Every structure is written in C-alpha cells, then in structure tokens.
Amino acid sequence: MTSPQRILVTGATGQIGTVLSAALRAAHGSDAVLCTDIVTPPPASPCAERFATLDVLDAARLRALVAEHRIETVYHLSAVLSARGEADPLRTWEVNVNGLINVLEAAREGLIARVFFPSTIAVFGPNVPPNGTPDDAVLNPTTVYGMSKAAGENWCAYYHARWGVDVRGLRYPGVIGHQSLPGGGTTDYAVDIFHQALENGRYECFLAADQRLPMIYMDDAIRATLEIMAAPAEQIRRRTSYNLQGLSFSPAEIAAEIRGEMRRRGIGELEIVYRPDYRQAIAASWPRSVDDREARQDWNWRARFELPQLVADMLDNLAAHATCTV
C-alpha cells in the first residue's frame, strides 16, 4: 500500500503527464495530486480536475502553489523534447534546465521533500556502445534536448550530494501508449503509426526502416516511475538517472507486427513508406538498446511488455475507442 503524499505534477497535460497524473491519483487519492502545465487541459481530460496553470520558469508561482497545496513531492515532467527542441535551442535549454533548477531550489529550501526528474536516452550520443549502452557510458548528446537533460542529471546529483535533496531520475526511452499523444519527439512515430494504421491503413515514416531504438510501453514506464519513487532512499545509488530498457524495435519491425495483428483481427491492412527527415540523424545518434542492470539491481526494475503484447494492447484500446466514438 502506497503511503499518501501531496503531489504536484508539472507538464501534466503531456504524453506521460496525463497518464502518470491518473496513476498518482489512483494511488494517493484525487485530492492529493495537483496537475499543472502551461497548457490548459480540455474539460474531458483527467487533468482538468485540480489543475493550475504553471510556467515552470516562474519560480514565484511554483513556490506559491507548493505552499498553498502543502506539496511534498514534485514530478517535474515539463520539457521541450528532441525534435521540437532543435527549432529553438536556447528556449529549450532555458525551459529544460532553468525549470528543473526552480524545482530543485524549492527542494533545497525545504519546501518539498522529493523530486522526480525524467531524463532520456537522448543524453547519449554516437560515441557509445550502441547495443546495451551502460549507465556510465560517456554522455556526448547531439541535440540541445539531450544536452539539457545531461546537464539536468548532473544538477540532480549535485543537489543530492551537496544538500541531500531526494531526487530520483529515469532515462526514458521512447514511450508508447494509447491514452495520450506524444509531441515534439523523435520516437513519436511509434505512437502515430497505430493511429494512422487504424484511420488510413497507411503510414509515412520519418525514420529509416531499420532504425532500431529503445522503447517502452506506457504501463511499464508508469510502473517504473512509481516504483523508483516508492523505493527506500538508500536503494537509490544513482542520483543522476537510471537507464530504463523496455524493448527495442525498428519501424519495419513494428509495422510488420501491426500488419500481422490487423490481419489476424480482420481490421484492415497497413502500408508503410519511408521518408526519413532531420529526425533520422537524431535517432541514428542514439543507442539501439540500453543496459538497465543497475535499475534491476537497485530497485528491482523489470519490464513486462514485449512487442507482440504491446501491439495487441494498443490495438485493443485504440480500436475499442474508435468503436465507441463512431
């Protein structure tokens, strides 16, 4: 049984925030979770209830919300992702680094007790072993998003070492879920392909057919987040961020699995064409899989979803939703 906490989620209307906020409400009670974002959620969103507008660069507003709602834990999800980040590098750095520092400062001052920081496989660049990249491989990111997250990891470790801030982080791979849409990432294709397959039977992919990347199903990503935050503090030996491996696949592999499953269900066909754009160079600079042994050893992390289960669950949920809304 999870002990109840008062929680603030930044970036709560985003792809992971939407689902994590609902999971936190299920675990701690609806009144315990304050969703915040710069974007106001639509009334039907699970975040619409107990929502406050927050720009993470506004440190005074963050402090005021923390005090007003007696917040103990912040899940700091606000960030500009890899592909969108390249359009405005300085703004991306500002949001991703200064937004985090505003949260860490609130923790240093004792206003909050715990922080969750989402890092990413984008902290790695081309000069690492591409398969089973270890936690401590050199960080030489090629995007401003990766640079900002690598800096963020070091800020987290610094606040922990110097002021004892209880901050915990995960290097998320591409996250795939039916509940919400991603925005601005290089791995977004792996969600979009399902929607296009069901709506049009055709997908134009912005990555190359054989570009394998580390990915994770949303259920696993949310469970990992809840598990690392629930682990005893002494088990969290890495205060930068932990590698998190779910599964790895290429666009051709996921397309084949979706096509096969759609045929088995008699719900259509999928044609895929490849038109790699600037995001292909970003993807090519990332690992194909990461070694998450340290997460498994320190707080018992285990991924559950492999490609066939992931595809079946996505189609179950998206097809059911399409049927209900027609």
The residues that touch ligand AKB, with contacts defined as CB under 6 A, are: 81-82, 120-122, 145, 172-174, 185-187
From CA 74, how far away is CA 275, in angstroms rounded?
39
DSSP three-state, residue 224: helix
CB 67 within 8 A of CB 8: no
Residue count (the chain): 326
CB 299 within 8 A of CB 227: yes
DSSP 186: S
Cβ neighbours around 277 below 10 Å, total: 11
Instruction: Give the active site residue among 75, 145, 159, 172.
Output: 145
Tell the smallest beta-carbon distance from residue 14 to ligand AKB (Å). 11
From CA 147, how far away is CA 169, in angstroms rounded?
16
Tell the smallest beta-carbon distance from residue 2 to ligand AKB (Å). 26
Closest C-alpha among 241, 228, 222, 235 to residue 304: 222
* Strand-by-strand arrangement of the 213-217 sheet: 174-176, 213-217, 247-249
The smaller minimum CB distance to ligand AKB, of residues 65 and 177, is found at: 177
Tell the smallest beta-carbon distance from residue 113 to ligand AKB (Å). 27
From CA 105, how far away is CA 70, in angstroms rounded?
16
Long-range contacts of 124-133 (CB under 8 A, 24+ apart): 124/285, 124/286, 124/287, 124/290, 125/285, 126/284, 126/285, 128/287, 129/287, 130/287, 130/288, 131/287, 131/288, 131/289, 132/289, 132/290, 132/291, 133/243, 133/287, 133/289, 133/290, 133/291
Tell the smallest beta-carbon distance from residue 124 to ligand AKB (Å). 10
From CA 171, how far away is CA 149, in angstroms rounded?
9
Q: Is 145 an annotated catalytic residue?
A: yes
Residue at shortest CB range from ligand AKB: 185
The smaller minimum CB distance to ligand AKB, of residues 159 and 286, is found at: 286
DSSP E strand boundaries for 54-158: 73-76, 114-120
The smaller minimum CB distance to ligand AKB, of residues 107 and 133, is found at: 133
Tell the smallest beta-carbon distance from residue 160 to ligand AKB (Å). 22
Tell the smallest beta-carbon distance from residue 179 to ligand AKB (Å). 15
The smaller minimum CB distance to ligand AKB, of residues 145 and 203, is found at: 145
The smaller minimum CB distance to ligand AKB, of residues 82 and 225, is found at: 82
DSSP 33: E
The smaller minimum CB distance to ligand AKB, of residues 46 and 146, is found at: 146
Residues with a known catalytic role = 145
